[in-house]
């Protein structure tokens, strides 16, 4: 991959990190949603909303971790190389999914394997 392409992806990753961190509620803000509500359905609704917010927060945390890992891979020179087969990941795939660590063939193979495992467990 060319230096210009790496820089384009780097900018994309940094922008994604900035967007996630600027909009995200902190865990203390989510946990701090305490209201004395006399109606049990209001309490249930608030609890459900808080639980959903915590799930979203966890997914954001995981995505931030993958984005930072991708930046580290760029810095160390291993970005865009498939973890399984060692082949170069297509630029088009990296642009669509900049946190990917597998080429299309290996990702497809992984998904087929996971489907078989799920089917076997039923």
What's the average model confidence in pLDDT over 108-121? 93
SS3 100: coil
Tell me the HSE value of 22 on the side-chain side, using a 13 A CA sphere.
6
- Rounded distance, CA 101 to CA 80, Å? 7
Domain span at residue 31 reads 3-120
Question: What region does 98 belong to: left with phi over 0, alpha with psi -120 to 50, or beta?
Answer: alpha
pLDDT for the residue 57: 84
Helices (H), the chain: 3-23, 27-31, 40-76, 91-96, 104-120
What's the average model confidence in pLDDT over 61-66? 94
Whole-model pTM: value is 0.74
Work out how many domains the chain is built from and give that number.
Answer: 1
pLDDT band at 32 (very low <50, low <70, confident <90, very high): low
> Which CATH number covers residue 67?
1.20.120.910
pLDDT in tens, 69-114: 999 999 999 999 999 999 999 999 999 999 999 999 999 999 999 9
Lowest-confidence pick of 3-12, 39-48, 71-80: 39-48
- Rounded distance, CA 52 to CA 43, Å? 14
- Rounded distance, CA 95 to CA 19, Å? 17
Percent above pLDDT 70 for the chain: 87
pLDDT for the residue 64: 94
């Amino acid at each position: 991959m060319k230096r210009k392409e790496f820089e384009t992806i780097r900018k994309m990753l940094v922008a994604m990190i900035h967007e996630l961190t600027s909009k995200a509620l902190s865990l203390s803000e989510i946990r701090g949603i305490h209201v004395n509500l006399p109606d049990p359905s209001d309490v249930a609704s608030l609890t459900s909303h808080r639980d959903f917010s915590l799930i979203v927060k966890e997914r954001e945390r995981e995505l931030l971790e993958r984005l930072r890992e991708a930046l580290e891979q760029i810095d160390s020179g291993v970005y865009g190389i498939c973890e399984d087969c060692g082949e170069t990941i297509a630029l088009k795939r990296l642009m669509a999914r900049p946190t990917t660590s597998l080429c299309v063939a290996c990702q497809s193979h992984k998904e087929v394997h996971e489907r078989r495992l799920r089917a076997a467990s039923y």
